[in-house]
């Protein structure tokens, strides 16, 4: 079933609104109704909800003459009961450090995100996605299972290296914690970062002349001194050895049903196929080109 652009935009706004103010405080039908009435302006709705919450806080701590202006402000919002109900729920939350930080971020219309790697062992595939920092979850497009992000110290792909011996900076296919030889002085170097696909410069028309080679014992182009017991992460070696592409499987996500990131990655009030389309439309980072064999 073809999905209209308007439907996609509304769903994206619904998810962002719920991420901004916590999914448990804004039920899906309420968020849908608000986005319909406010033309998908989730930032405006967020600010009005927080304004109502702050007015309620002031009216409790100040004299009675503060009540009338608060009532006038509510009237300016056409006495939108949905906004007031959400504000009341936010007001009832305990003032923990996390909640105060969430309120401050919402006032600035910010949703902190990070680029994380995910993998599915059953489907033997990995991907990168920009996800909210609060809950880093993504769903495999093949089997639809939901996974937690790969731990930072197990990420793999195109890596950045800086040789401590000669200060040479280079990039090569690798995995965090797995050494590679410096192309200049042959010293052993560990990667400092894995580069998400959209940021790396490894493209078929921009390849270097350095074929991949590392210190792993089973590398198809093994460099010396090799490290016994280590395994090459490069796709070519993995293919030659008949090994799976996935190096570190993501853990299955155990949903609590109470956090916003679940909604952002899984969809909300629409049918399953529409959820998939919208999910793919939200901050997707292209998958890596696995036949790019050269390093630089």
Place of tokens 């993501």: 250
Q: Degrees (nearest 5) of the Cα angle 101, 12, 263? A: 60
Instruction: Tell me the C-alpha distance between 101 and 67, whole Å.
Output: 27
Name 264's Cβ contacts closer than 8 Å, sequence gap at least 6.
15, 16, 18, 19, 131, 132, 282
Structure tokens at 147: 């996974």
pLDDT of residue 15: 85
C-beta atoms surrounding 97 within 10 Å: 7
Q: H or E stretch including 266?
A: helix 260-266
Domain boundaries, the chain: 1-56, 115-203+210-256
Instruction: Tell me the C-alpha distance between 259 and 262, whole Å.
Output: 6
The backbone region for 8, taken as left when phi is positive above 0, alpha when psi lies in -120 to 50, beta otherwise, is: alpha
Structure tokens at 74: 């509510």
pLDDT per residue rounded down to tens, the chain (296 residues): 566 778 888 888 888 898 888 756 688 889 999 999 999 999 999 999 999 988 866 655 554 554 454 444 445 545 589 999 998 888 888 888 888 888 888 888 888 888 899 999 999 999 998 888 888 888 888 888 899 999 999 999 999 999 999 999 998 888 998 888 888 888 889 999 999 886 555 544 445 556 777 778 888 888 777 778 778 888 888 999 899 999 999 999 887 654 443 444 433 322 234 455 465 644 444 444 443 444 55
pTM: 0.71
What are the residues facing 216 on neighbouring strands? 227
Instruction: Let me know: does 135 contact 147? Beta carbons within 8 Å.
Output: no
Q: H or E stretch including 173?
A: strand 169-175
Q: H or E stretch including 115?
A: strand 113-120
pLDDT of residue 57: 62
β pairing state of 113-120 and 125-132: antiparallel
Place of tokens 């296919």: 173
pLDDT of residue 19: 85
Across the chain, which distance is largest between two alpha carbons, in Å? Answer: 80
CA distances from 156 to 3, 28, 139, 173, 227 (A): 35, 37, 19, 8, 18
Instruction: Tell me the C-alpha distance between 246 and 142, whole Å.
Output: 14
- φ, ψ of residue 113 to 5 degrees: the values are -130, 165
Q: What is the pLDDT of residues 133-178, one digit of tens each?
A: 888 888 888 888 899 999 999 999 999 999 999 999 998 888 998 8
β pairing state of 188-189 and 146-148: unpaired
pLDDT of residue 206: 46
Prior bond of 225 cis (ω within 30°): yes
Q: H or E stretch including 211?
A: strand 210-211
């Amino acid at each position: 079933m073809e999905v209209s652009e308007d439907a996609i935009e509304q769903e994206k706004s619904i998810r962002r609104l719920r991420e901004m103010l916590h999914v448990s405080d804004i039920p899906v039908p309420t968020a849908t109704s608000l986005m319909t009435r406010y033309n998908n302006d989730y930032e405006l709705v967020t600010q009005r909800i927080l304004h109502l919450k702050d007015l309620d806080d002031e009216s409790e701590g100040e004299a009675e003459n503060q009540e009338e202006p608060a009532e006038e402000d509510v009237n300016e919002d056409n006495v939108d009961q949905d906004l007031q109900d959400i504000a009341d729920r936010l007001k009832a939350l305990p003032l923990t450090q996390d909640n105060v930080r969430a309120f401050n971020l919402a006032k600035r219309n910010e949703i902190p995100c990070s680029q994380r790697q995910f993998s599915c062992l059953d489907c033997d595939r990995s991907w990168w996605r920009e996800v909210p920092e609060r809950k880093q979850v993504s769903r495999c497009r093949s089997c639809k299972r939901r996974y937690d992000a790969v731990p930072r110290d197990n990420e793999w792909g195109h890596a950045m290296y800086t040789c401590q011996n000669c200060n040479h900076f280079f990039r090569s296919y690798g995995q965090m914690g797995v050494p590679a030889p410096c192309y200049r002085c042959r010293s052993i170097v560990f990667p400092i970062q894995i580069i998400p696909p959209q940021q790396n410069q490894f493209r078929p028309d921009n390849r270097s002349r350095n074929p991949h080679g590392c210190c792993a014992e089973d590398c198809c182009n093994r460099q010396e001194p090799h490290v016994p017991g280590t395994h090459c992460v490069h796709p070519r070696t993995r293919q030659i050895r008949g090994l799976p592409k996935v190096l570190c499987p993501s853990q299955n996500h155990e949903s609590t049903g109470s956090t916003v990131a679940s909604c952002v990655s899984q969809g909300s009030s629409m049918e399953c196929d529409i959820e998939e389309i919208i999910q793919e439309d939200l901050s997707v980072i292209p998958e890596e080109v696995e036949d790019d064999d050269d390093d630089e």
